[in-house]
A and B are shown apart, each in its own frame.
Chain A
Amino acid sequence: MIPDPDDLESNLIEELEKTTGARGQTIVAFCLAS
């Protein structure tokens, strides 16, 4: 089973990076602490 067969997630991550500059990976704790 491939939950996202067209890899929409990668497209949205790329779109987000282009529009906001946000890139890279983090962890939940850092994300929610600020």
Chain B
Amino acid sequence: MRCSLPARDEALIQIVDSALAETARRSGNWLACRPGCTQCCVGVFAINQLDALRLRAGLSKLEESAPERAARVRQRAREAVSRLAKDFPGDPVSGLLDGGKEAERRFAGFANDEPCPALDPATGLCELYESRPMTCRVFGPRFAQEMDWVFASFAFRVRQMKKLRRAK
């Protein structure tokens, strides 16, 4: 079933991106985020149905403007599902994660080395950047500003925080 994004999703993105842009400006050189850095793009995390709908809309748009790139995204996603389905802590047919403490415990240790299928490994850029989930939008700046970031353990902590955000 094809669904439309709620009209106010654009407002949500504008609010969040504006807040993050201001934080990024204030973070200055402390902010490690830059095009080509892919540390946040490794390790599976949960997305809600609004994120999922926005991502699918972004992929449909890419199919119109750059069908080869869109096909590569879909291919990477299918390959990832093949690798991940066996141990997926949810329904591997629908792709929905299970709820509850035991499922959260299993998810915490699940696929922490798996790259995001939207990440183009050749360029280190997100193919669906404009349609990325909220977790991707709020991560780096928030962390660098509020937690006195230790860069040596960056990748590990990002993975853990992404998982923890699910339990919010």
Total number of residue pairs linking A and B with CB closer than 8 Å? 125
| Interchain CA distance A17-B116 in the complex, whole Å | 26
* A29 contacts B50, C-beta separation under 8 Å: no
What residues make up the interface of A, taking CB atoms closer than 8 Å to B? 1-4, 8-9, 11-13, 15-17, 19-20, 22-34
* B96 contacts A28, C-beta separation under 8 Å: no
Residues of B within 8 A of A8 (CB): 8, 11-12, 15
* A32 contacts B96, C-beta separation under 8 Å: no
Residue among A1, A28, A31, A34 making CB contact with B23, cutoff 8 Å: A1
Residues of B within 8 A of A31 (CB): 47, 51-52, 55-56, 77, 95
* A32 contacts B118, C-beta separation under 8 Å: yes
What residues make up the interface of B, taking CB atoms closer than 8 Å to A? 1, 3, 6, 8-9, 11-12, 15-16, 19-20, 22-23, 44-53, 55-56, 59, 73-74, 77-78, 80-81, 84, 88, 90, 94-97, 99, 111, 114, 116-118, 133-134, 137-138, 141-142, 145-146, 166
Most chain B beta carbons < 10 A, residue from A3, A4, A11: A3
Besides the known contacts A4-B12, A33-B77, 11 further A-B residue pairs in the complex with CB atoms under 8 A apart: A1-B22, A1-B23, A9-B12, A13-B49, A20-B1, A25-B96, A27-B95, A28-B118, A30-B81, A31-B77, A34-B95
* A23 contacts B55, C-beta separation under 8 Å: no
* Interchain residue pairs with CB less than 8 A apart (29): A1-B146, A3-B16, A3-B19, A3-B138, A4-B12, A4-B16, A9-B134, A13-B50, A15-B6, A20-B1, A22-B3, A22-B49, A22-B52, A26-B47, A26-B52, A26-B94, A27-B44, A27-B45, A27-B46, A27-B47, A28-B47, A28-B77, A30-B95, A31-B47, A31-B55, A31-B56, A32-B73, A33-B80, A33-B81
